[in-house]
Structure 1
Amino acid sequence: MDAIVKKLVPVEGKPSREEAEEAVRVLLRWAGDDPNREGLLDTPKRVAKAYQELFGGYDADVDSVLGTTFEEVAGYNDMVLVRDIPFFSHCEHHMVPIIGKAHIGYLPDNRVIGLSKLARVVDIFGRRLQTQEAMTAQITSAIESALAPRGIAVMIEAEHMCMSMRGVRKSGSTTLTTTFRGSFEEPTEQVRFMTMVRGR
């Protein structure tokens, strides 16, 4: 499996929890507030705890999540599609939220994977500092490596708060990214995937 989709190796010299909390205090002062006022006294602890959850994808092992597949499919070989998988991520450039949903489709080659595993893979990569383009490719590579399907298609649509809250401040704009591999490189399969994603 490509190195980018494996469990990430801990950063050498990773700061302690106390150092992380002190960094939050510095940012509060830099923003112009007083970290010693009543409302902010526990904010550094809360932020450190929240970051553990928001960026929990760094501690997750994709291989273990996708390690179990099933061969008893009664001959089924058509598309498996899980759409509208919600996710929350953070832009690696500004560390502000990316909010969106992922759609994953694949054509099995005698093996399938538990549907919840697909959602967990989205969650793992979402809970890392990301670009949407990289996240789309990472999800695709992880599933392709574990399942070896005849084809895989991944589409992500998301709103980036770095565009909505700052910079051009265009609220409501959506970014779409797609990856098609194997049989999904055929235009007819891409059309079928998109039709099933958009069909309601």
Structure 2
Amino acid sequence: MEKEFASIIEQLGEDVSRPGLVDTPKRAAKAMKFLTRGYQQSLDEVINGAMFPTENSEMVIVKDIELYSMCEHHMLPFIGKCHVGYIPNGQVIGLSKIARIVDMYARRLQIQENMTKEVADAIMQATGAAGVGVVIEAKHMCMMMRGIEKQNSSMKTSMMLGIFRSNQATRTEFLSLIR
């Protein structure tokens, strides 16, 4: 990967041997591996057995989970927050695991629409919940730094599964609690 970054820098018209750029290919490769570390993770590894029995059947919400991802179209960052709600069906997942699931999918080349669905599907699969709701709000550098160059635009996506999709009252409760 270092060689590829060196080639990109040279194709930009820069001298990869100048002092400020000598170690840039190595640093860029290391950064890219970090930014896409979600490819090295699986749902089972992330959850690591942190499932706990419960009699609670009321909504559980974790909101404002910050996320950093990279769009698969331009490899530019998008930055935002994710809100996750679910209704337990006999078990709950460890609190930090929800944020770790968001990170696992965010740390892949991604579009926000797909990431929203992936997070919802993963929470549903892991918990066997009666329903799951996920909302992601993000600002996309591919829209801010290039192309249309709109600095104040943001994107919101949602995915509702189970009772969050079939029951309007459940959906409304979730959406009002994350505001």
TM-score by length of 1: 0.86
Q: Which residue of 2 aligns with 1:26?
A: 7
Q: Which residue of 2 aligns with 1:115?
A: 95
Q: Which residue of 1 aligns with 2:115?
A: 135
Q: Structure 1 residue 183 and structure 2 residue 159: aligned?
A: no
Matches within 5 A, 1:159-198: 159-185=139-165, 186-198=167-179
Question: What is the letter of the counterpart of residue 50 of structure 2?
Answer: T
Counterpart Cα distance in 1 of 2:100 and 2:74? 25
Deviation at residue 26 of structure 1 after TM alignment? 1.0
Counterpart Cα distance in 2 of 1:162 and 1:58? 22
Residue 45 of structure 2 is aligned with which of 64, 67, 79?
64
Question: What is the letter of the counterpart of residue 2 of structure 2?
Answer: E
Counterpart Cα distance in 1 of 2:63 and 2:84? 6
Q: CA RMSD in A?
A: 0.9
Deviation at residue 111 of structure 1 after TM alignment? 0.6
Counterpart Cα distance in 2 of 1:88 and 1:23? 23
Q: Structure 1 residue 93 and structure 2 residue 69: aligned?
A: no
Deviation at residue 68 of structure 1 after TM alignment? 2.9
Corresponding residue pairs, total? 177
Counterpart Cα distance in 1 of 2:36 and 2:126? 23
Deviation at residue 64 of structure 1 after TM alignment? 2.2
Structure 1 window deviating more from structure 2 (25-34 vs 157-166): it is 25-34
Deviation at residue 188 of structure 1 after TM alignment? 1.4
Deviation at residue 39 of structure 1 after TM alignment? 0.4
Q: Which residue of 1 aligns with 2:30?
A: 49
Q: Which residue of 2 aligns with 1:6?
A: none
Deviation at residue 87 of structure 1 after TM alignment? 0.6
Counterpart Cα distance in 2 of 1:24 and 1:94? 16
Structure 1 residue runs of 5 or longer lacking an equivalent are: 1-19
Structure 2 residue runs of 5 or longer lacking an equivalent are: none
Counterpart Cα distance in 2 of 1:152 and 1:193? 10
